[in-house]
């Protein structure tokens, strides 16, 4: 079926599984209420027995807009906003993973917030806040997991599994903020991956968003991986941490730790003063 609209299982019947390209909001609500199981592909989501096992990133503004998303241009802006020195267009292109022509166009569009200094470019004061207001979120697909250990141990277990699978994880959120500007005890794990992974072999259980201790994102915003790889700030072994701006966004929009807002203020100060620990 191309689009799910309405469906109901009769009383006493085994719940029906509906698979569709997309679904109306009413259908999703009914699936979350346990009336039937639902799998959709645009956006990707899996709802079984009322439990959400896979869902789109709901922090993203204007989600599901794939064309002209502007992630490359936004990545140029956030890279400059967190840099300690002027960056040449070639450096920006390498870091973000876009062409020099695309960087040039991004700089022209951001002319109110950036300026040339010598042979490079720097961000003007307040650019980080401009980026935060404009960034639509990483998009993509989100899975939620529950583990019994503290966040650092959970991350270690998850990354050990990724090592076995020859995949590189990018740690964001609380744990990345703790590396940049230690202030709070991390309360959750947030990780970016290139593909969906089953973490049950590492001791995790699928969880509802509200009860999750680890959130894993397969982002549509590919610059998250490009910038992390270019800046090469290690978390453990081959695994990296998100760049400072994405880490800040995670704290403000995705962390469920009670003191995340205060941690975001400390991280903002560390970015502004060039005093990041890594």
In a domain, 233, yes or no: yes
Task: Confirm if 142 and 131 have CB atoms less than 8 A apart.
Answer: no
59: confidence class by pLDDT, cuts 50, 70, 90: low
Query: Could you tell me if 107 and 149 lie in one domain?
Result: no
Tell me, what CATH number does 99's domain have?
A: 1.10.10.10
pLDDT tens digits, one per residue of 123-163? 999 999 999 999 989 999 999 999 999 999 999 999 999 99
- Residue 12, pLDDT > 70, answer no
Rounded to whole angstroms, the Cα distance separating 51 from 37 reads: 9
In a domain, 61, yes or no: no
Of the three residues 114, 134, 154, the one that is the final residue of a domain is: 134
Rounded to whole angstroms, the Cα distance separating 236 from 147 reads: 19
What pLDDT, on a 0 to 100 scale, did the predictor assign at position 61? 43
Of the three residues 134, 169, 188, the one that is the final residue of a domain is: 134
In a domain, 66, yes or no: no
Provide the token pair at 227: 């910038």
In a domain, 263, yes or no: yes
Rounded to whole angstroms, the Cα distance separating 273 from 263 reads: 15
In a domain, 62, yes or no: no
| Domain count for the chain | 3
Query: Could you tell me if 95 and 167 lie in one domain?
Result: no
Residue-range definition of the domain harbouring residue 125: 71-134
Query: Could you tell me if 153 and 269 lie in one domain?
Result: yes
Query: Could you tell me if 165 and 251 lie in one domain?
Result: yes
Query: Could you tell me if 119 and 233 lie in one domain?
Result: no
> Which has more confidence, 222 or 40?
222
> Which has more confidence, 237 or 13?
237
In a domain, 168, yes or no: yes
Taking each helix axis as running N to C, give the angle between helix 173-180 and helix 244-253, from 0 to 180 degrees, rounded to the nearest 10. 130
> Omega into 43 within 30° of 0, i.e. cis?
yes
Query: Could you tell me if 121 and 146 lie in one domain?
Result: no
Query: Could you tell me if 26 and 115 lie in one domain?
Result: no
- SS3 state at 37: strand
Query: Could you tell me if 266 and 177 lie in one domain?
Result: yes
In a domain, 65, yes or no: no
Share of the chain above pLDDT 70, in %: 86
Query: Could you tell me if 206 and 149 lie in one domain?
Result: yes
> Which has more confidence, 40 or 194?
194
Provide the token pair at 207: 């969880």
Query: Could you tell me if 13 and 41 lie in one domain?
Result: yes
pLDDT tens digits, one per residue of 102-117? 999 999 999 999 999 9
In a domain, 235, yes or no: yes
- SS3 state at 241: strand
Query: Could you tell me if 187 and 250 lie in one domain?
Result: yes
Calculate mean pLDDT across residues 223-238. 97
pLDDT tens digits, one per residue of 75-84? 999 999 999 9
Of the three residues 134, 159, 181, the one that is the final residue of a domain is: 134
What pLDDT, on a 0 to 100 scale, did the predictor assign at position 1? 40
Query: Could you tell me if 130 and 159 lie in one domain?
Result: no
43: confidence class by pLDDT, cuts 50, 70, 90: confident
């Amino acid at each position: 079926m191309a689009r799910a609209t309405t469906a109901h299982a009769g009383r006493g019947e085994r719940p029906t599984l509906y698979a569709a390209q997309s679904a109306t909001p009413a259908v999703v609500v009914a699936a979350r209420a346990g009336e039937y199981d639902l799998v959709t592909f645009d956006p990707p989501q899996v709802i079984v027995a009322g439990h959400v096992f896979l869902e789109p990133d709901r922090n993203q503004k204007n989600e599901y807009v794939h064309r002209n998303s502007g992630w490359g241009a936004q990545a140029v802006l956030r890279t400059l906003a967190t840099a300690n020195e002027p960056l040449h267009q070639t450096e920006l292109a390498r870091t973000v993973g876009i062409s020099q022509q695309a960087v040039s166009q991004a700089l022209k569009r951001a002319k109110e917030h950036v300026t040339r200094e010598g042979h490079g470019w720097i961000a003007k004061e307040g650019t980080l806040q401009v980026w935060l207001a404009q960034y639509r979120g990483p998009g993509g697909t989100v899975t939620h997991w529950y583990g019994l250990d503290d966040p650092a141990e959970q991350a270690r277990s998850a990354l050990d599994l990724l090592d076995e699978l020859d995949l590189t994880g990018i740690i964001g959120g609380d744990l990345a903020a703790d590396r940049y500007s230690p202030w709070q005890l991390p309360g959750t794990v947030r990780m970016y991956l290139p593909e969906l992974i089953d973490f049950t072999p590492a001791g995790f259980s699928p969880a509802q968003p509200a009860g999750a201790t680890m959130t894993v994102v397969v982002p549509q915003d590919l610059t998250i991986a490009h910038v992390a790889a270019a800046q090469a700030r290690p978390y453990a072994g081959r695994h990296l941490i998100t760049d400072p701006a994405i880490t800040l966004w995670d704290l403000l929009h995705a962390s469920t730790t009670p003191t995340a807002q205060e941690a975001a203020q400390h991280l903002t100060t560390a970015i502004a003063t060039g005093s990041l620990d890594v």
